[in-house]
Amino acid sequence: MVVYIEYLFIDNMAVNLLILYLTAVTLKDKAGFSRLFLSALTGTAFAFLLPFITAFVFLYKVAAAAAMTAIFKHKSLKAYFMRLAVFVAYSFFLGGIISGLFNLNSGEINGAVTYNSGRVVWLTAAGCAIFFAVIRKLYLTLKQKNTRGFYYKASLSLGSFCEETVAYYDSGNRLYDPVDKTPVAVVARDLGERIIQSQNPETYDIEINTVGGKNTLKAFKCDKMVIYSQEQRNIIETITVAIADGGFKNFKILLHNDSLSNLKSDN
C-alpha cells in the first residue's frame, strides 16, 4: 500500500475547506478565511494521525470535528453544537459520495486517508463537485420556498395612473413619513419615475439611515395602494411612496412592516 502524503494534505485541506464553507453558508455565519483555514488545517492534522489510531476510531473522528468547530466564535453553546451537527452531517454526506465513486472505480480506501493510485485527486474532486452542486441546489430551493410567501400582488394609483405589479413584504422596513408619521412604501426607481412623469406630484425628501450612513430619498403621496393576498386585500389610502436609488430584483414595491395589518376578505 502506497501513501501519498501530498495527496493526503491537499485532499483533506480542500475537502475540509469546502465542508466548513458550506456549513458557514448554511448557518448564515460570516466566518473569515483565516478561521476556515485554521480549522481545515486542524482537521488535516488529525487525519495525518488517523492511521496510527487502532482503537476508538469513531471517538477520535468526533474529537477531530469538535476541535475543528471550536476554532470558530460562537455566541452560545447551542450555536457551537449546531455548527458541529451540520459539519458532521455534511462530512458523512460527502464521505458517502466519495466512497461510492471509489467503489464504482474499483478503488481501495484504507482508513479514508491512504489510496492505491493517484486517481484519488480526481475522484475526490468529482465527489466534492457533486456534493457542492447538491447542497447548493437544496439551499437555493429552501431559500426560494422561504421567501415565496413574502411576495404579493399589489396595485399603486395616483390620478389617472394605475399599475399592478409585485410587492415584497419586508418586516425590516420601518420607515415613516416625517410629516404625518404614516408608513412609507419604497418603489423601484423606474416605477417611481413613471409615476412622476405621468402625474407630476409634489415631491419632498425623506432621510433614511442605512448601513453605509444617512441617505435621502425622493418621496410623494399616492392616492391608493391595494395589496392582494389570496382572497384578502388591504387598501391603503393616501400612502407615502419613496423612490429607491435603483431597482429591485424580483419586485417593484418594498412594503412597510405595517402593510399587512389590515387584510380583509373580499366576501
Residue with cell 465542508: 19
My answer on whether 19 and 132 are in the same domain is yes
My answer on whether 139 and 221 are in the same domain is no
My answer on whether 184 and 209 are in the same domain is yes
**φ/ψ (deg, to 5) at 72:** -90, 160
pLDDT band of residue 14 (cuts 50, 70, 90) is confident
Provide the residue range defining the domain that includes 208.
Answer: 151-265
Residue 1 confidence (pLDDT): 44
> What is the average per-residue pLDDT within 183-205?
94
103-146: pLDDT as tens digits: 776 555 444 444 445 566 677 778 788 888 888 877 776 665 55
CA atoms in the 13 A half-sphere facing the CB of 38:
11
My answer on whether 16 and 89 are in the same domain is yes
**Distance in angstroms (rounded) separating the CA atoms of residues 111 and 58:** 11
Query: Does the global pTM surpass 0.85?
Result: no
Residue 115 confidence (pLDDT): 46
In whole angstroms, what separates CA 177 from the centre of its chain?
A: 31
My answer on whether 182 and 197 are in the same domain is yes
> What is the average per-residue pLDDT within 188-217?
89
Is the separation of the CB atoms in 176 and 170 below 8 Å? no
Instruction: Give the chain's domain count.
Output: 2
Indicate the residue among 148, 182, 200 that finishes a domain.
148
My answer on whether 128 and 22 are in the same domain is yes
Residue 100 confidence (pLDDT): 79
Transcribe the chain into DSSP letters: ----HHHHHHHHHHHHHHHHHHHHHHTT----HHHHHHHHHHHHHHHHHGGG--S-HHHHHHHHHHHHHHTS--SSHHHHHHHHHHHHHHHHHHHHHHHHHHHHTT--EETTTEESSTTHHHHHHHHHHHHHHHHHHHHHHHHHHHHHTTEEEEEEEETTEEEEEEEEE-TT---B-TTT--BEEEE-HHHHHHHHHHH----EEEEEEETTEEEEEEEEEEEEEEEEETTEEEEEEEEEEEE-SS--SS-SEEE-TTTTTT-EE--
- pLDDT for 249 beyond 90: no
**Distance in angstroms (rounded) separating the CA atoms of residues 254 and 91:** 39
My answer on whether 18 and 111 are in the same domain is yes
**Distance in angstroms (rounded) separating the CA atoms of residues 80 and 89:** 14
In whole angstroms, what separates CA 121 from the centre of its chain?
A: 30
Indicate the residue among 148, 180, 207 that finishes a domain.
148
User: Which of 9-13, 14-18, 122-126 has the lowest average pLDDT?
Assistant: 122-126
Residue 265 confidence (pLDDT): 52
Residue with cell 391603503: 236
Task: Name the average pLDDT for the chain.
Answer: 82
Indicate the residue among 119, 148, 177 that finishes a domain.
148
We report the CATH number of the domain holding residue 225 as 2.40.70.10
**Distance in angstroms (rounded) separating the CA atoms of residues 40 and 166:** 44
More confident residue, 41 or 131: 41
My answer on whether 90 and 161 are in the same domain is no
My answer on whether 135 and 163 are in the same domain is no
154-179: pLDDT as tens digits: 999 999 999 999 998 877 788 899 88
User: Which of 56-60, 103-107, 138-142, 250-254 has the lowest average pLDDT?
Assistant: 103-107
My answer on whether 178 and 110 are in the same domain is no
My answer on whether 35 and 85 are in the same domain is yes
My answer on whether 73 and 92 are in the same domain is yes
